[in-house]
Chains A and B, each alone.
Chain A
Amino acid sequence: QQQVRQSPQSLTVWEGGTTVLTCSYEDSTFNYFPWYQQFPGEGPALLISILSVSDKKEDGRFTTFFNKREKKLSLHIIDSQPGDSATYFCAASAGGSNAKLTFGKGTKLSVKS
């Protein structure tokens, strides 16, 4: 059973456009939701994260939204750039003393110029 579902599997947007990636989860104990960005041949790197007590967090061109009632979150990238082309993973953890992350399958983003 997949605990974190991510969509779409792949996405192509034009340079300057807005990218929207979505995730849903099932475990109500999840309270921390990071987004990781992975370039080919590299490990994932933290992009932005949000706690369940918040509904929005912004960092430059990247914004993540969280809807606790619907158990959904999203990542918005405005003014998408070719350098944003990467695979994006949403993840979740339940907090406490355990830092274990449960990841979605990822969205492969291609930004065309």
Chain B
Amino acid sequence: DPKIIQKPKYLVAVTGSEKILICEQYLGHNAMYWYRQSAKKPLEFMFSYSYQKLMDNQTASSRFQPQSSKKNHLDLQITALKPDDSATYFCASSQDGTANERLFFGHGTKLSVL
């Protein structure tokens, strides 16, 4: 059984719309992350949360907003979608969010913006 659940697996959106990507982890971890993987770029760090507090934000745009309602949830709200936002978004978790920890990744949500 997958320990990190991302929903939906595939998502098609219209330019200018808003979507929420869901992530739940059942590993008992205290840190969660979002990474983005687009066709021509390396896997890119977006956000990290530890104990439900934002630790690091490397996303330049405020259109991307993480939302943590529970310790094992970290959703990603994306507003005013653009075609450049098309990518696979990976949620990940680790024990505490400290250095050198193993990251566990979900299977990703593939977002296509038309």
Residues of chain A from 60 to 111 with CB closer than 8 A to chain B in the complex? 89, 91, 93-106
Inter-chain CA distance A102–B41, complex, in Å, is 12
| Interface window among B12-20, B59-67, B100-108 | B100-108
Check if A44 sits within 8 Å of B48, measured CB to CB: no
Answer yes or no: B43 CB below 8 A from chain A CBs: yes
Among A91, A99, A102, point to the contact of B31 (Cβ < 8 A).
A99
- What bracket does the count of chain A residues touching chain B fall in? 20 to 34
- What bracket does the count of chain B residues touching chain A fall in? 20 to 34
Check if A101 sits within 8 Å of B99, measured CB to CB: no
**Chain B residues whose C-beta falls within 8 Å of the C-beta of A41 in the assembled complex:** 107
Inter-chain CA distance A36–B97, complex, in Å, is 18
**Chain B residues whose C-beta falls within 8 Å of the C-beta of A103 in the assembled complex:** 42-44
CB 8 Å contact bits of B75-114 with A (1 = contact, 0 = none): 0000000000000001010100111111111111000000
Question: Which B residues contact A (CB, under 8 angstroms)?
Answer: 4, 31, 33, 41-45, 48, 55-56, 58, 90, 92, 94, 97-108
